[in-house]
Each structure stands twice: as C-alpha cells, then as structure tokens.
Chains A and B, each alone.
Chain A
Amino acid sequence: MNKSHPPLWADRLLEWFCDPHLLEEVQGDLHELYGQWVEQHGLRKAKWLYIVHSLKFLRPYSIKRLSVNNPTAMFKNYFIIAYRNLWRHKIFSFINIAGLSIGLACCMLIFLYAKDEITFDRFHKKQHQIYRLTALITDPEGSSDPWKSGSTGMVQGEAFKNEIPEIEKFVRLKEFTFIIRKEGEVFNESALYADSNFFSVFSFPLLQGNPETALRDIHSVVLTEELALKYFGTTDVLGKNLALGVEGEFENFVVTGVAEKAPQNSTIKFSILLPFAHYAGKHPDEQWLNFFLNTFVVLHPEADVKAVESKMAKVFKKNAREQIAEAAKNWGFNNQVTFGLQPLADLHLNTAWYLGNGLVDGSNPIYAYVLSAIAVFILFIACINFVNLTVAQSLKRSKEIGIRKVAGGMRKQLIIQFLGESFVICLLAFTLAILLAQWVLPFFNQLAHKKLSLSYLLDTDVMAGSVTLLLITTLAAGFYPALVLSGFQPVKVLYGKQKLTSKNYFAKSLVVVQFALATFLIIGTIAIYSQFHFLIRKDLGFEDDNLVSINLPWWEDNGKVLELFKNQLADQSSIVRIAGKSGGRYGTNVKANGKEMGTDYIRIDENYFPTLQIPLIEGRNFSQDFPSDTIEAVIVNEAFVKEAGWKEPIGQTVDFFTKQQKKVVIGVVKDYHFRSLKEKIGPQLFFQYPDVKYGQIWVKIRPDDIPQTLELLEETYRQLVPFYPYEYQFMATINARQYETEAKWKQIIQFAAILSVFISCMGLFGLTTLGIEQRTKEIGIRKVLGASVSSIVTLLSKDFVKLVVIAFFIAIPLGYFAVDQWLQNFAYRIEISGWIFIVVGLLALLIALFTISFQSVKAALSNPVNSLRNE
C-alpha cells in the first residue's frame, strides 16, 4: 500500500468548505482514489488530481452551511427592532441624531477646509519643479533673528539660470498699481508684471490668445475674464487697446490674451498681467542686495535642491562681490545673504517667508489644527451622548436580549445587531449632516476666508475620508454599548435581576469629560471676548473718532496738493483740522546719545499732533515760524527718549547715517499706539524732511453732518487731483481691522462653545430623563412620606451637579494654560483674573441645573398616585 499522503492544504481546504456530515464519505472516497491515482499516474499527477477533484466538491449541496438560521429573516427582524426602538424613544433618538449630525457636519466642513489647505498650488503641472528664490539675511553677530525675505531682486533669476545648468527657467513677478479710466470714473487696478514664459511655467489656462507669445511684446496685456467684462463689457477683447495710467501718464497696451480666473486654491492671483520687460525698461536695477519682487525657478526634474543652493551661493559670491564691498563701505552693510529655494507647495502654509507681489492668501496651519480639534471635540461630545444614553436605556431592552440569548443568539450576533443599530443612527445623522453642512457652508466660508463648495466632497479622497468618518463614529458610539448589552446574562435578565453597576464610573467620567470640554471652550470664549473688548476700547493715546484718512497720489510733490487741500477747506466749519503724514511704515537705524538704535520714522506736518490730540510733554511742535524746522528738527516720542537714555532730550542730536545728517530734537510727545496692540510702543521719530513724500491726508471732522462733510471732501479732492481715485477710510475702521483675525477667532470659538454646550446639555437632559424614569416609584414614595418638592429636586440634581463641578475643576488649569498661551501674542493684554473662572463656573452650573430642572421639577411636582398606582 502506498503510504504517501495527499496534499495537506487541499485536505484542510476541503475540511473547511465541505459540509461536516458529508466530509467523511467525500474525503474517504478521495483518499481511496488518490491511492489508485498514485499507482496509475505517479505521485505528481495524483496530487494534482487530488486538488482538482477536491475543488470540484465546491458545489451547492456539499458546501458548509454558514448557519442554520435564515439570515434574511434575522436581519429583517433587526431592522424592525431598530426602527421600533428609534420610534419609541423619540427624545433619545432625536438627541443622538441631532448631536451626531452636528458633530459630523463640523467634521465635514473641516475636511473641506483641510483639503483646500493641503491642495493649495498643487494644480500646476510642474508643481514639483517650481521653487521660489528666498533670501536669508543674517547679521554677523547673530544678535537678532535673521530676516527671512521671500523677495529677491531683478538680477538673481537671470544670473542663476545662466550659470547653473539645473535651473531651466525663471519667472519674475512684480505687483504694480495702475489707474484705469472708464466713462469718467477712475479705478485703481493692481497688475502683475511677469516674464514672458509665465504661462509655460504655471498652469493657468488662457481662454483666448497664445500662451507662448501673449507676454512677448512690451506693450501687451493679458486680462482675466472678470476684468475684460468690467472694462469692455465682453470677453472678446483680443487686439483691443487698454490705457493704463501711472505717474499721471497713460500708456496703451494691446490685449493679447484672456485668462481664466486663478483657482481659489492658488497662491498666485492676478487680474492683469503685463510683460516684465516693460517694468525692467522703466526701472532698471542691477543691485543684488535689493529685495522687492518674487523670482520663481523651474529646476530639472532630477536636480538636487541642496546642490543647486550651494551653486547659487557661489554665483552670488562671484557676481555680487563689488556691490557687497560698496555697500559695506557706504552703509556699513556687513550682513550675510544666503539664497535658498522654497518649494511652490510650501508657499501657502509657511508663515515664515513673506508673500506679496501677486502672492496672496497665505495661511497659518494653526487654523487647520485648531479647527480640527474643535470639530473632533464636538463629535466626541456627541458620541458620549450616544454611549451614555444607550447604556442607560439598556435595561429597557434587557428582556429582548435575554430572549435572543435563550433562543440561541450568540454574543457575536448581538454585538453585530447593536453595532448595526448604531450604524443606522449614524447613517441618518450622516445624511442630515450633509444637509446641515450645505446649509452653513456660506457662513463658514466667510468665517474661514474661503470659497469652498460642497461639491469638493465628491472626490475620492474626501469620500473615503467621509466613509471612514462614518465607520469610526459608528464604532466609537456603538462599540461600548454593544459590549455591555450583549454581555447581559439571560438568567438574571429574565428574572429581572440584571442591574447596571450602580457606580457606573465609566458613564460618569464620560459626562465629566463632556462638561470639561464645554467649560474649556466657554473659558476660551470669555477670554477672547474680554481681550477683544480690551483691544477695541483701549486708549490708543490719540483720538480716532471722526478722523478720516484720504490717500494722496504718490508720484508728484504731493505737499502742494496737501497745501491746496488745506486752503480750499480752511473756512469750512464742518472741518476741524487737516494734517498730512507719510504713508506706509518706515524704519531706520539712527545714532543717538552715542549708540545705534532702530526706530520708526514718519514725515508729518505741524497739524499732525493737534489733529490726533497727542500732547507734547516737552519742547514745542513744528511751526511755520521756524523755517529751519523742515531740514533740521525732529520730534521724538517718550519711548525714543527712554531707549536713547537722554535726561535732557531737547537740543540733543539724532544722527541719520543713511542720509548722513544730524538733526536736533525740538520736542517730545507722549507715547501713542501707532501700531497694533500686539506690539509694544517702540521709538518713533517725526520730521518734516521733504525727501519722504506725504501719503495720506488726515482730516478731523465735526460729528454733526458726516455724509455732507464726506461729500465735500470728495468734491474738493476730485477738483485738485482729477485723475486719481478717491479713497478714504475712517481711522476707527482701520484700527478695528487690525484685529480681524481676533474677531474671526472670537466667532469660531464662540460657535464651538455654543455647539458643545448645546450637545452636552442634550445629553444631560437625556440622562436625567432616564434617571428619573427609573426612580419614579422612589419619588412617589418619598412624596407620600412627606418630602418637599425642593428636596426632591435637590436629590435628583445632586449627582449631576457633582459631575459638572468636577469637570469645572479639570477645565480650569487647561483653560488657563491655553488662554495664557494665546495672550502671549499681545504686547498689551488683559490679566487673567479669577473672576473669569468664577463666571464660567457659575455659568456652567446654571446651564446644567437649568437643563436638569426640566425633568426634575416635573417629576417632583407629579402626583405620587400616578407613579404608585400601576404595579
């Protein structure tokens, strides 16, 4: 007899799929045949035949039945039971579904947000090859942080491209503002100068025109659809002329292309593109140490970034040697400049390098983190509701579980049933969440500075994410209840002896977590509110009420315009005073009291301090009685005096080393907040030197008839500067805008707090309802024996109040830490005082008590006859 054995794995396979009561004969027959095959055909063939023939037993009649139940009937039953349970406990179903759908909707919005953030600038075909040139400027002593400049000059791109073979192309981008006239009106339009290969580097499709040649001619212009419609009323504009004005003169450009609007997830945004050659022709610049535009380079796909960077350092050293020496001689420039490469995809979320010049919408990744954390918090709170309510309700279903087990239900089946139920609830919530997300999306967009649309969800990544989210939620919410419920022992249950452990620490700690999160968010809200209030109301050291700021044209000697403006309006009673000041913000290094120091400086006229009502502490204001003031005099602020260490500031000299001039201090003004309150008041210098042009007119008006006064201002301005757009703003608006970010955070945290408190309270409400239902008899007996309403309410509320208080004490240190971290952003900030926490604690307690009271008072007032009658 041949003792060789048929392939073991085939045998195992057969044992696995074959119906157990057929297995013996089938396997016996096969083994018998195998013996014959070995003799007839040899071992190899026999093994092969054995495998083939055992697989042939994969027939309906011989395959193992998965279970003896009829699965369809079972699942049908599950669905009926799930549906009945949902329907019977409407309140709890509502709480669960509403909470979960709010949480899921939050998560969906964050998905959209995160996806948008991550996919920024990824649509360019050459995205992996495109880098921006950056410059790191460090001073040799390392005394201050290096200056990270995202900008470069005009020469670097070309020099690097010529001398480094890995660099295939370069594009420079420079923003410039033009004036466009249309039917007597004038508009400011921001244009972007770009090298002619712009469209071959970046993937911005042209609707009309040839991308290769569109920017080749020096007087060509590419418009977006939007702009073409604005100025021509049609998008069919190829070959038409567009007059762009700068410095008072207009030049004609021929439209050579119409571009689609840049997608919203593009850092490069433009409405008008002009050939860079036009800019270079008017403003030639050979300086390596100027940083004022963006240079992008395209590297060879296999280029090594580090190697290219070290080559750039060599090229810089070689080409800029003379200029560096000159700068060192003339201005004492001894800084180290290192050029680097920043990947295109890095632009959006890297806050370290300045954007600008056509690059917009930079974002801080912290937003994505904080928003995600909030969304997860809210979903988590909703899941806790589900867990707690399901477990607390489980006693009602214990009979069902007992019967199922007696009838042969396995624990695994019960777990599947309960998970299935939570899946149904999550699915309902998910559907609602999509509707909810759709509904609040416009509002969210405004809050998050985005233009998202729900159609972004129809993307495999996001879809996969959503489905995962749904499954995770199902598991998070349903797993623990399923485990508890399926663990009931049928004997106990059917004799009515099953009890949830009376302590139930798990459920209690979940409530504590819920309320700790909610309290944490309330603390955040109140802190942000107080700080915001503080920022808005803080005495800035000057009067910004009824102060109007008007932009001046920047090209000619606009001092004349200012004088004319003052003269024209001199006898208007509605205008208090008119002052001029340089636009923007300038800083420089000066030498005072023998030491070098940095300071802000602005050009003002003699009306500046009176208009802003900034008091002089010492000395005098500029005056037209002293003509030499224009050249020789400066006024400084208190911080400057302190920094310089002067005891007697009047008559001291300040040494401008860039201008190589000495100026005499004639006055000291009180410190005022010329910057945002995030920064400390630093040294500031005021002078009248005409080198720096005026940028703005500040007009203090009377509050009586503001619209008419504004009209008067506009008329006067248009008369004096006919071809320049009139733009004005109230100073108070400008000041408030500095805190836009804070205002957004305020809203976001506020909504998070409201939602989390709302969902937590729904959960609390559900839990009290259940607790009271179970204690109906107890309450009835207590009432019969003479308990008062208040004592019963206290009894019912006590446990929950305890949990809320514990949660509060957990939230305090966390809240304190987070708020303290956030406040570090502000040089001027509120003190975190105890009252914030007291208010929050009381608030949380009140909200909890209020929620509980709905049910507890009702229970306490109910007639004991009703609860005791039916036994």
Chain B
Amino acid sequence: MVNQRVVTPEHLFFEAQREKQFITGSEAVREAIRRANVDLAVSYPITPQSESMHLVGDIYAEGYLKEYFRGESELAVMAEVAGASMGGVRVFTATGGPGTLRAFEMFPAWAGARLPIVCAFLTRGVNSPLSIQPDTIEMAFMLDTGILMFHAESAQDLYDMILKAFVIAERPDVHLPVGVFADGFFVTHTREQVAVAPADLKLPPYDPYAAPVPAMDMESAPVRQMRDPFVMKSNFISYAAHASWQQEILAAQERARKYVHRYLEGLVEVEHPEAAVLVMASGTMVSQSREAVAVARQQGLDIGLVKIKSLRPFPREEIKTLARQARTIIVPEYNRVGWLCREIKAAVEDTTKVVGGPRVFGGMTMPPEVVLDQIRRCCA
C-alpha cells in the first residue's frame, strides 16, 4: 500500500493547500478515491461511467485501495459492495443510466440495511431508444430509495462531494448510502481546472464498531435479520417492525441535514436571494443558468440563482423561505418529466409561482440563451 497520512476530514476538505489540475470529471473521481481511504471498489462498465472505475483500478494497481475487482453485472456489483459494507469495510462503486436501473433492487436494500456505501451515479439517458448521452431521468427514480443524493455541478463538485459523502454516510446517527450524481459527459468527459488536496493525505478509516447496525458476523443483527426475517413471522410485530424501520431511515435522512450543512456548506447555494425572479436548478443546469443569469443581470433584470446541492435530504425549508419573497421561480432541467419542478412545488406554499422548464433531454445541451429567453419572459 502507498504510504499516506491520515488527517481529519476538516483538514482534508477545508485547510489543506490545494493544487490545480486540468482534468476530466472521471479523473476527479480517481483523485477523490485516492484520498478517501477506500478498502474495496468494484467496477462494471457503462458509458459514461466506465472511465471512472477504470481509473480507480489504476490507483488500486498503485496501492491506494486494498481490493478491487470487476463484477459480473450491475446487480452483482451492488450486491457485492453491500456484502463488503456489511462486513465493515469502506466501499465505492459507480454506475449510470441503464446500469442504475439494472441494479435498482439494491438501492432501497442498501438504505434498509443502513449501509454507508458511496456510489457515483454518472447519469445518462435511459433506453429505449438507446442513448448514451446526458439526461437526469434516473434521478427521478432514485428519489424515494432512502439513499442520500447530492448533485455535482462540475468536476470540482464531484471530487469534493465524493470525499464528503463518505464522512456524512458513516456518521453513526446517519449511516445511510450516499449517491453522488453528476451529469454524464457534461461533467465526466469535460476537462476543467480542479483544485485537489495533496495526494499523500487521506481520510480516517471507517469505524464499523460505531455503526448503529453491528458489522456482520454470524450471530449479530443483519444476518439474524436475513436468516430469520420479519416476513416469516407474519404477525403484528413483524409489520410494526417493518413500518418503524422505514420511518427510521427517513429520520436518519433528516439527521444527515446538519452534516450536509457542515461539509457541503449548505443544501443550497444562493446568489441574489432578494430578486423577484429566481432560477432554481441542480447539476450542470446550474452552469448553464449562471451564464444566463449573468447576462440578464447585466441587462438590469431582477434575477437570482439557487443551486440545489442536496436532493436527499431536500432543502424544503430553504426553498419555502426563498419562494415566499420571490414572484416567480424558474426550474430548468435536463430531463423530460421535470422531477425537480415537482420537488420544488411540493416544498413551496404557492405553487402558481413555479414555472417548469425549459427542459431538454436525450442528450441535447441546454443553450444558456434558452434559459435567458425564459428569464426575459418571466421578468416582463
């Protein structure tokens, strides 16, 4: 193994001197995992994710991880990282698009078993017709699996969010899986400046003995639960246990809020919260909106921008408060169904303020000009 120095998460995230590298989002995944003290990573290819886990394999060969292998299928990979996580080690994997859907059964299972797995979802269109291009539709499906969800705007976000995800996931009062989502190609294949901490620093190791669900051995709870599951009893206690356990997962998501605040520095990032019209977006749609908002403000329009970094937990209170003083909220998205618009409508008091779209999907790029047109219409 490569000799690295363990430092506190605070030092690695906020204090260590950073160096700028001109790298892609996939390479940013590698740089995050290099510093994440990961024990085991499992890879399985799917565009646009393949490079990320390939590069994690490269740093395994260099001695930054204890174990790494290629799984047999998406479902197998997600089950393998679940087994390793139950065994008490820190794990990482990544997928995207149809890969996410093929593995889907495991995501609520991860949350249900309270496994602090970190997975990068490098999103793309879902077949059919076949597309390998960017689209965030799979995030709509993931919203109610019980996992925490962060959405990266850039390669920088992807690097930072992956590292921070481990720390948030492993808090004993959280202990849930975290999905770090980034838009395929727009982040994974885009080369930009990323500031990274020194490569000889790493996070403290995972402490399985601080977990709320004990690490697996043949006598303790998780195995006991699988060998002797509630469903076999089919009595009042089994239903009550299942219902309360589901609520406990939601409660754990709520308890994650304070750590998302501390490490991600808020669930949202706001520019000009006092503006009459606000653009609310997540992922790379924030980037496109930044350009549009900058031009609109130069032209004297009263417009602000809200970047939503965490989707689970969802910034309900933040959005409700912002919406109170705004006249209109514009929600541009990279998917057809408008799932972020639905989430925002569920949080605000006056849903008539929320204007869904513009939306593009199936691999198209949102021109900032189209967001600007919407801003002009809503400011008129």
Decide if A and B are genuine partners.
no
Which chain A residues have a beta carbon within 8 Å of chain B's beta carbons? none
Which chain B residues have a beta carbon within 8 Å of chain A's beta carbons? none
